[in-house]
Amino acid sequence: MGYPYSHDLEVGTLLSRHFGNEKARTLEGWKELGGYATLPKALEMDPDAITEVVKNSGLRGRGGAGFPTGVKWSFMPKEPSGAHYLCCNADESEPGAFKDREILRWVPHLLIEGCLIAARAIRAEHVYIYVRGEFFPFSAILRDAVVEAYEDGYVGQNILGSGWNCDVTVHLGAGAYIAGEETGLMSSLMGGRAEPWIKPPFPAQSGAFGRPTTVNNVETLAAVPMILAEGADWYRQWGTEKSPGTKLWCCSGHLERPGTYELPLGVNLRDVIYEVCGGAPDGKKIKAVIPGGSSTAMLTAEELDCSGCYEGMAEAGSALGTASPIVMNEDTNIVQAMRRIAQFYAHESCGQCVQCREGTSWTAKILHRIEEGDGTVEDIDTLYHLCEQMTGRTICPLADSVVFPLLSSLDKFRDEYDALIKR
C-alpha cells in the first residue's frame, strides 16, 4: 500500500507492501514477514549470475537517470585487484521526491538485503549508505537495523556462514543537494566538498577512494531481493518493455491525496494525478504539473495523457526523473513557482562551473525581478540566452536541471511572464 493513502491502481506487493507496518522495522518482525529469504540464495550464486538476472529484469536506476542497473554492475571488474565499494544513494533531495525516505523508515532491512545482494554481485567488501543529513529520524531507523543485522550475522564477517565478508556503514551528509549526484556523493563520502567530477574516470574504474565503485539509488537496491527471488520474467509482468517493473510515485503540491504510491511503470500520468491522488482539492482546476521532480519540464493540464515510464515521459517532452509529480492548481503564479525552483538550484550549485554558478543565480534574480513587476521584455531574451549557455556545458546536470522547467514555463506560460512585465 502507498503511504499515507492507497489506491486500487497500485501494485502494493513489492516495495511498499509493508509501508506503515512498524513490525517491518525490526529484524525479528522482518523475518516473520519473510525477510532475508533471498540473501542465502545470492550467497550460493556466482556473482555474475546475479548481475545477469538483474540485467534481464530490465531494472533501471530509480534515482532519475534510469540507467539499466545490471549493465552498470557489469562494468565492475570481474577480477578484483583490491577493494570494491557499493554506495547506496540515500541523499534524496530533489524537490518533489520523498520516496526513498519511506523505504528507509518502513522497510530498512529490505534495503540492507538489497545492498548485500548488490555488493555480492559487484564483489564489494563495504557498502556505504549515504543518507542526507536532514533525514535524522529515518537514518536512525536504518542505522538501528544495520546494527541488528550485524548482531544476527547478516552483515559483517562470514555472513550466514558463507565465508563472505561485507560491511555496511550508514554515513550522513550535511545538507548539500549536489551530494545526490554520484560523483558528488563520492567526493562528500571521502571527506570533501560534494563537488562532482568529470567522467571518465567512471566510478566502476575509479570511484570512492580511487577504487571501483557502483552507486545505486535506494529504490533500485530495494527492488533487487524480489527480482532475484522471483526472477526477471516475474518482474517484467509490470511496466513496459523498456521500463519494466513498478515505481514509487511521490505526488505533492495541490492534490487531494498527496503521498507515495507504488504504481506500474507506464501508468497514465493523468490517472496518477486525478484517479490515484484525487486531483486538486476544493474543485480547483490543475494548471501545470512538473512530472519527475523539480528538474523536469512542466506539462500543462492538457498534456497529461502520457505513459509514466522513462520513454513515455521523454516522448511527452519531459522526463520520468524520480516520478515525483508536483501539481499546481489554477491559482498558481507560474513565475513565482519558477522563481522558487530557480532559487533552490542557485542555492545548491556547488560553484565549480561558471555557467551553473552564475547562470542559476542570475536566473533566480531575473525571475524575482519579473515577479516583482520590474521585469523588461529583454529579460525574457536573457532567460532564453542563459538557458542556452547553461545546457550541456557543465560537469554535472545541475545547471540543466533549472533549464528544463524554466524553458518549458517560458514556452507554455509565456502569457504569465508577459502579464507581469506589462504591469
Partner 1 sequence: MTDTGDQVKKPLHPAAASSQAFQVADIRPTERLFDDPEGRDRLEKVLSRYPEKRAALLPMLGYAQERNGWVSDESMAEIAGALDLTPAYVRSVTTFYTMYNRHPVGRHLIQVCTCISCHLDEADEVFERFLSETGTRAGEISEDGRYTVIEAECLGACGFATAVQVNDRYFENVTPEKVPAILDELD
For partner 1, the binding residue among 40, 137, 201, 231 (CB under 8 A) is: 137
Residue 284 Cα to chain centre, angstroms: 29
- Binding positions for partner 1, 348-377, rule CB under 8 A: 348, 350
How far apart are the C-alpha atoms of 129 and 111, rounded to whole Å? Answer: 10
Choices 48-56, 144-152, 302-310, 377-385; region in contact with partner 1 by CB under 8 A: 144-152
For partner 1, the binding residue among 53, 194, 267, 353 (CB under 8 A) is: 194
For partner 1, the binding residue among 340, 357, 365, 369 (CB under 8 A) is: 340
Please report, for the chain, how many H helices and E strands are present, in that order: 17, 11
Choices 61-69, 147-155, 266-274, 353-361; region in contact with partner 1 by CB under 8 A: 147-155
Closer of 340 and 357 to partner 1 (Cβ): 340
For partner 1, the binding residue among 51, 89, 213, 260 (CB under 8 A) is: 260
Applying CB under 8 A, does 18 fall inside the site for partner 1? Answer: no
Choices 8-16, 126-134, 265-273, 360-368; region in contact with partner 1 by CB under 8 A: 126-134
Closer of 201 and 392 to partner 1 (Cβ): 201
For partner 1, the binding residue among 66, 253, 279, 321 (CB under 8 A) is: 253
For partner 1, the binding residue among 49, 209, 373, 419 (CB under 8 A) is: 209
Least Cβ distance, residue 401 to partner 1 (angstroms): 12
For partner 1, the binding residue among 9, 45, 83, 160 (CB under 8 A) is: 83
Applying CB under 8 A, does 251 fall inside the site for partner 1? Answer: yes
Choices 55-63, 340-348, 374-382, 394-402; region in contact with partner 1 by CB under 8 A: 340-348
For partner 1, the binding residue among 7, 18, 101, 120 (CB under 8 A) is: 101
Applying CB under 8 A, does 409 fall inside the site for partner 1? Answer: no
Applying CB under 8 A, does 109 fall inside the site for partner 1? Answer: no
- In the numeric block, which cell numbers belong to residue 371? 515577479
How far apart are the C-alpha atoms of 59 and 242, rounded to whole Å? Answer: 9
Count interface residues toward partner 1 (CB under 8 A).
70
Q: What is the binding site for partner 1 (CB under 8 A)?
A: 83, 92-98, 101, 105, 126, 131-144, 146-147, 150, 155, 167-177, 188-194, 209, 211, 250-254, 258-260, 290, 294, 324, 326, 328, 332, 337, 340-341, 344, 347-348, 350
